[in-house]
Amino acid sequence: MMAITAVTIARLRNLFAVVVLSTLYSFLMATVLVVLDAVDVALTEAAVGAGISTVLLLGTLYLTRSEEAVPVHRAWLPFGVALVVGGLLAFGTLGLPEFGRPDSDIHQHVAPRYLEQGKAETGVPNIVTAVLASYRGFDTLGETTVIFTAGVGIILLLRRSRSDESDRPTDRRDGS
Amino acid sequence: MNPLDYANYWIAMFLLVTGLFIVIARGNLVKKLVGLGIFQTSVYLLYIAPGKILGGTAPIIDPRFSVYSNPLPHVLILTAIVVGVATLALGLALVVRINEAYGSIEEDEVHALDLERD
């Protein structure tokens, strides 16, 4: 179902429908994540992927326009590139561990320690929260920095356009 | 070898390739960003799926369970989702600016306008 949604997004021209389908896609992904026992990630995906992203995309469509132009050339080259990349990646997966096996490498390293000691060391029963806020706290600090930078960038981009309109209406087209 | 053991990777690969195709082939900038989102979610799947253990449960410690899925990929992907929405927002702000400057969000038209101007 996710694959069908993704392919439809690729084919549709009406951007409004594309945005709605991407929301549907995010909800499907969140469901898959619940099945894979990643409940925290599923919550975030449903809130951020289906919620905030949709609001942002719809806001952009409101400010621009919602119909995509018909492409002038056929998309054979990108299709070929995508096929080659996909083939190579699928070949690469054959060396990866099989699904759901408890003896694969990623379950041997640092994760068992988190699961065994995490509650005693941090006092939080949800290990994902414990790792996020305690063991890998610097990671989260870096993430916050990224969001801050993105926010500053957005404010600068959108404010500039408004001051251009009011101060120098003739220069607006020069943009750069 | 059972093909189902690798199905999770192949689904992730398919979504990744679809996202890549949208990013390369479609000229509309909003659509490109949606494609980038699909690309990103495929990576989430690629990370989360190996963390699952069959018969395990979510990594919330409780005396009733003893087998948990791996919490580390979950943490990494939580970070990735939030960073992803930050980049999406920045990209959309750029799209709005491009639309104001050029009156179009099609890559071809913007390129043609650039050539005219030179």
Find the CB nearest B94 among A32, A132, A157: A157
Verify whether the Cβ–Cβ distance A125 to B61 is below 8 Å. yes
Q: Is the pLDDT of residue B62 over 70?
A: yes
**DSSP labels, B105-118:** -BHHHHHHHHHHH-
A108, closest residue in chain B (CA to CA): B70
Q: What is the mean pLDDT of residues A128-148?
A: 84
Note the pLDDT of residue B100.
Answer: 82
A172 pLDDT more than 50: no
Cα angle, residue A117 at apex, residues A111 and A122 outer, rounded to 5°:
110
Q: Looking at the domain assignment, is residue A77 inside a domain?
A: no
Are A143 and A137 within 8 A, CB to CB?
Answer: no
In the structure, what pLDDT confidence band is assigned to residue A167 with cuts at 50, 70 and 90?
Answer: very low
**Chain B residues touching residue A99 (CB < 8 angstroms):** 4-8, 49-50, 52, 54
Q: Give the domain B3-117 fold.
A: Helix Hairpins (1.10.287)
Q: How far is CA B105 from CA B21, B102, B111, in A?
A: 18, 8, 10
**Higher-confidence residue: B40 or A122?**
B40
Q: Does A155 map to a domain?
A: yes
Q: What is the pLDDT of residue A169?
A: 42
Half-sphere exposure of A31 (CA within 13 A, CB side): 8
Judge whether residue A176 has pLDDT over 50.
no
Supply the range of the domain harboring residue A57.
1-67
pLDDT band at A162 (very low <50, low <70, confident <90, very high): low
Question: Of the residues A52, A67, A82, which one is the last residue of a structural domain?
Answer: A67
Q: Residue B18 pLDDT > 50, yes or no?
A: yes
- How distant is the Cα of A142 from the closest Cα of chain B, in angstroms? 9
- Residue A164 predicted with pLDDT over 60: no
The residue among A51, A67, A83 that closes a domain is A67
Q: Which of B52, B72, B109 sits opposite A111 (nearest CB)?
A: B72
- Contacts with A43 from chain B: Cβ below 8 Å: none
Q: What total of structural domains would you count in chain A?
A: 2
The answer to whether residues A30 and B65 touch, using CB atoms and an 8 Å cutoff, is no
Nearest alpha-carbon partner for B90 in A82, A148, A12: A148
Among A44, A67, A90, residue at a domain's last position? A67
Q: Is the residue at A33 inside a domain?
A: yes
Average pLDDT of chain B, as a whole number: 82
In whole numbers, what is the pLDDT of chain A averaged over residues?
A: 76
Contact B56 A102 (CB under 8 A): yes
CB contact A120 to B (< 8 Å): no
Q: What is the pLDDT of residue A17?
A: 78
pLDDT for B88 beyond 50 = yes
What's the ipTM? 0.81
Contacts with A72 from chain B: Cβ below 8 Å: 108
- C-alpha distance across the termini of chain A, in Å: 43
Under 8 Å CB pairs connecting chains A and B tally to 276
Domain residue ranges in chain B? 3-117
- The whole-number average pLDDT for the span A141-165 is 81
Instruction: Give contacts of B49 with chain A, Cβ < 8 Å.
Output: 36, 99
- What are A38-61's pLDDT values in tens digits? 788 888 888 888 888 888 888 888
Asked whether the beta carbons of A128 and B74 are under 8 A apart, the reply is yes
Residue A87 lies in a domain: no
Q: Taking the CA atoms of A93, A41, A113 and B69 in sequence, report the sign of the dihedral they define.
A: negative
Q: What mean pLDDT do residues A77-90 have?
A: 82
Give the pLDDT score at A170: 42
Identify the residue whose tokens are 């890559």. Answer: B107
State the average pLDDT over residues A138-143. 86
Task: Please give, rounded to a whole number of angstroms, the shortest distance from the CA of A167 to a CA of chain B.
Answer: 16
A2-22 pLDDT, tens digit per residue, is: 566 666 666 666 777 788 888
Q: What is the distance in angstroms between the Cα of B75 and the nearest Cα belonging to chain A?
A: 6
Residue with tokens 């898959």: A32
Tokens 């995309």 correspond to what residue?
Answer: A57
